[in-house]
């Protein structure tokens, strides 16, 4: 299957809105690219944040890449899109090391879940998984493998 990648200004606008509203000001010091992957990243990974390796930095001149599956984006409503983007924006970190400030990725820790649950409620991910599973006609164990 041939995958295509498309930058879209609507993703940038949504991300900037969330960065401002959620006071994620530290993200203003890094470059994040946002792309749709068509038709999807994988059926179990509807979105992800990638820390740019040296090759990506060389060719794209960015620190992080947030990929979103086009199929899923087109299947969800605006409030769910906002939750998904908010979740992905919690992954980029800036760490202080001997080399100075360096990009890093945050895992799925309690702080991430707390921030999302506080704003969007405890059932957001279950409801999101239901949409993803319905889009790809997934059931049971296959549905349980869906992650963001």
Render pLDDT for 52-74 as a digit per residue (tens, 0 to 9).
988 888 888 899 999 999 999 99
Please check whether residue 89 is in contact with residue 83, taking contact to mean a CB–CB distance below 8 angstroms. Answer: no
3-state secondary structure 16-79: HHHHHHCCCHHHHHCCEEEEEEECCCECCECEEEEECCHHHHHHHCCCEEEEEEHHHHHHCCHH
Superfamily for domain range 4-135:
Metalloproteases ("zincins"), catalytic domain (3.30.2010.10)
Confidence (pTM): 0.87
Tokens of 46: 């509807």
- Tell me, what's the pLDDT at 30? 92
- Tell me, what's the pLDDT at 17? 97
């Amino acid at each position: 299957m041939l995958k295509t990648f498309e930058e879209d200004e609507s993703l940038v606008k949504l991300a900037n809105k969330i960065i401002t509203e959620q006071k994620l000001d530290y993200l203003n010091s890094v470059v994040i690219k946002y792309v749709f992957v068509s038709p999807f990243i994988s059926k179990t990974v509807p979105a992800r944040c990638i820390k740019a390796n040296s090759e990506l930095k060389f060719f794209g001149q960015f620190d992080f890449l947030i990929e979103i599956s086009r199929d899923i984006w087109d299947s969800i409503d605006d409030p769910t899109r906002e939750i998904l983007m908010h979740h992905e924006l919690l992954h980029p970190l800036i760490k202080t090391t001997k080399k100075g400030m360096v990009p890093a990725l945050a895992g799925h820790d309690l702080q991430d879940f707390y921030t999302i649950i506080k704003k969007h409620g405890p059932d957001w991910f279950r409801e999101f998984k239901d949409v993803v599973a319905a889009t790809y006609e997934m059931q049971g164990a296959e549905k349980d493998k869906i992650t963001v």
